[in-house]
Amino acid sequence: AQSVTQLDSQVPVFEEAPVELRCNYSSSVSVYLFWYVQYPNQGLQLLLKYLSGSTLVESINGFEAEFNKSQTSFHLRKPSVHISDTAEYFCAVSDIRDDKIIFGKGTRLHILP
Amino acid sequence: DGGITQSPKYLFRKEGQNVTLSCEQNLNHDAMYWYRQDPGQGLRLIYYSQIVNDFQKGDIAEGYSVSREKKESFPLTVTSAQKNPTAFYLCASSISLGGGVRGEQFFGPGTRLTVL
């Protein structure tokens, strides 16, 4: 069975500083990996995804994530955060055989002025 | 514009009452899902459906019921049997079940249910 672990429930970071949100997964087969973002009182929006190919994937708003198969990780990074990045971020995993996507418990990103 | 709508945004219910949450999509997606979100617990799958007139239980189906009479609609009923119904409920859809590009899920704005 698959599982997703987001190691930090909350991450405070100063504006314009870099940030890394950690995600580890477990699966016995090849996986697809996703990061979703949820702004307050809204639904989730897909931020980026890894399906195959290049292990480094990027979003349009400066986030990137790297698939590391040996460490079973898919950490999300941004070199310089803005106040508008304040949100909750969810890592998710699925495999081609399964009929569900498994979500982590989320990491709340707090941007400090 | 294509998307998923959920109504109402806020819903209040007295203990012992059933309540139905609406979810409609015009993305022509086959698969639809209902999640419950509680603080610090992430998303937990309640029910999902791949085709009309068929649906499967998720991880926390007890106290909930669904129907899928139309491809674009997947209403969720929270029954009086649900012990702790106060939560944020999210509906999602995807082209098909499973992972990869076809399994990417699109979410509605959510309904916040409060039991008084």
Beta strands A87-94 and A32-38 are antiparallel
Output the DSSP codes for A49-109. EE-SS-SEEE-TTS-EEEEETTTTEEEEEESS--GGG-EEEEEEEE-TT-S--EE---EEE
Query: What is the C-alpha to C-alpha distance for residues B94 and B115, in angstroms, rounded to an integer?
Result: 30
Cβ-Cβ contacts under 8 Å between A and B: the total is: 67
- How near does any CA of chain A get to the CA of B6, in Å? 10
Is residue A86 within 8 A of residue A102, CB to CB? The reply is no
Q: Provide, rounded to the nearest whole percent, the portion of chain B with pLDDT above 90.
A: 72
**Does residue A49 belong to the interface with chain B, where contact is any CB pair within 8 Å?**
yes
Average pLDDT in the A2-28 region? 93
pLDDT digits (tens, 9 = 90+) for A53-62: 888 999 988 9
Task: Report the b/e string of A73-83 with b at 16+ CB within 10 A.
Answer: bbbbebeebee
Q: Do A99 and B50 touch (CB under 8 A)?
A: yes
Q: Which pair of tokens denotes residue A71?
A: 């460490």
Closest-CA residue of chain B to A35 = B104
Q: Which pair of tokens denotes residue A108?
A: 């709340």
pLDDT digits (tens, 9 = 90+) for A30-75: 788 999 999 988 899 999 998 888 889 999 889 999 999 999 999 9
Closest-CA residue of chain B to A8 = B40
Side-chain-side CA neighbours of residue A13 (13 Å): 24
Residue B28 pLDDT greater than 60, yes or no: yes
